[in-house]
Amino acid sequence: MKFDIRPTANPVSEKDRAARLVDPGFGRVFTDHMAIVRYTQGKGWHDARVESRANFPLDPAMAVLHYAQEIFEGLKAYRRDDGGVNLFRPDANARRFRQSADRMAMAQLPESVFIDAVEQVVRIDRAWIPGGEGSLYLRPFMIASEVFLGVKPSSEYIFAVIASSVGSYFKGGPAPVSIWVSENYTRAAIGGTGAVKCGGNYAASLRAQAEAIEHGCDQVVFLDAVERRYIEELGGMNVFFAFDDGSLLTPPLGTILPGITRDSIIALARDAGTRVREEPYTIDQWRADAASGRLKEAFACGTAAVISPIGKVRSTSGDFLINGGAAGPVAMGLRKQLVDIQYGRAADPHNWIVKVF
């Protein structure tokens, strides 16, 4: 599929762009362009374009607005010291996007079109990639665009890629996060959409996240929906536990989102000879292991923040600290290893990097 490339007639001036890149934060500074591809049943994918970032015309009866048939992805472009630009495992995002589409009964976008769209946006908006520990966050997504109020899979879709300049997630190194154990809400059940990157999962997590904030915590951690005792993941990040025998544990796939950061950490740890178990782990065991000293560290991981150490866990049964509430060497070591690969400062033994420039 060939993209029709139409550079914007009104790019943001160099001066304004430089001002916006000083402290971009996350998800507020957008680039000049977007990629867009349309799907119509019977015709397939068509009208691939890279054009000025602009509003979508939204009919009020568009299916996505009523029945939430929507999926998304998140990945980053990193500026290397030599001025080139890296993507990290875009093929994994493309594959997961197809799996998400399948679960949500949406049209499946060929992985090559997904990757091409992402690369086109990085190419045309490369000036928006901040230097240093900043990056360009790419947000591919797909919405059901048929105008129809009947409940059925849409016959039309819009796939688009937008991009946002983001700063270092943590100024001055990752600060440990405090997490609230949700007892009132669950995130996913067997047979549901927990393993799918769909907007609806996030909508359903916001009440629990608000409860975490009411309890003075940064993030919520969800337990399984059946026994309500196995750790699943945070609202948007997977979780790892590091023990005194040097091993790592992370909850198994199934109802959790199969994170690419999670998968990469497992691979890097195993490369180093670390034993990594993908096994269920209960909140009671977590508390007991933190008390006995068997548990050394816990951390959350995802594309946006890479690795966030967990310093404190709070629930209705009380609080406990991990590693005295401080970031530990396992989390920080893995974080540095991963970030160095992403920015092209270290060898890439698994061929995860795609050089756009």
> Which is nearest to 116 in space by CA: 33, 194, 50?
50
For residue 10, which phi and psi values (nearest 5 degrees)?
-125, 65
Of 193, 238, 255, 342, the residue at the interface with ligand PLP (CB under 6 A) is 238
**Residue 39 contacts residue 157 (beta carbons within 8 Å):** yes
For ligand PLP, the closer of residues 39 and 78 by Cβ is: 78
- The DSSP string of 42-85 is TTEEEEEEEEE--PPP--TTBTHHHH--EEE--EEEEE-TTS-E
Q: How many helices (H) and strands (E) does the chain have?
A: 8, 19
Residue with tokens 């091409």: 116
Q: How far apart are CA 90 and CA 116, in angstroms?
A: 10
48-63 as b/e, with b when 16 or more CB fall inside 10 Å? bbbbebeeeeeeeebb
For residue 307, which phi and psi values (nearest 5 degrees)?
-135, 130
Binding-site size for ligand PLP (CB under 6 A) equals: 13
Of 197, 287, 296, 335, the residue at the interface with ligand PLP (CB under 6 A) is 197
Of 90, 236, 251, 309, the residue at the interface with ligand PLP (CB under 6 A) is 236
124 contributes a contact to ligand PLP by CB under 6 A: no
Least distance from ligand PLP to the Cβ atom of residue 35, Å:
20
Of 70, 233, 289, 297, the residue at the interface with ligand PLP (CB under 6 A) is 233
Binding span for ligand PLP by CB under 6 A among 43-51, 234-242, 322-330, 337-345 = 234-242
For ligand PLP, the closer of residues 182 and 261 by Cβ is: 261
90 contributes a contact to ligand PLP by CB under 6 A: no
Least distance from ligand PLP to the Cβ atom of residue 256, Å:
7
Element (H, E) at 138: strand 135-144
Least distance from ligand PLP to the Cβ atom of residue 235, Å:
7
289 contributes a contact to ligand PLP by CB under 6 A: no
For ligand PLP, the closer of residues 137 and 286 by Cβ is: 137
Element (H, E) at 179: strand 177-181
324 residue type, one letter = G
Q: How far apart are CA 149 and CA 115, in angstroms?
A: 32
Binding span for ligand PLP by CB under 6 A among 165-173, 208-216, 235-243, 343-351 = 235-243
For ligand PLP, the closer of residues 270 and 294 by Cβ is: 270
Binding span for ligand PLP by CB under 6 A among 51-59, 257-265, 267-275, 331-339 = 257-265
62 contributes a contact to ligand PLP by CB under 6 A: no
Of 90, 259, 311, 344, the residue at the interface with ligand PLP (CB under 6 A) is 259
Least distance from ligand PLP to the Cβ atom of residue 74, Å:
6
The half-sphere exposure of 320 on its side-chain side, counting CA atoms within 13 A, is 19
Site string for ligand PLP, 299-338 (x = CB under 6 A): ---xx-----------------------------------
> Which is nearest to 334 in space by CA: 282, 278, 276, 290?
276
Counted residue by residue, the chain has a size of 357
139 contributes a contact to ligand PLP by CB under 6 A: no
Least distance from ligand PLP to the Cβ atom of residue 197, Å:
5
300 residue type, one letter = A
Contact positions vs ligand PLP (CB under 6 A): 74, 197, 233, 236-238, 257, 259-262, 302-303
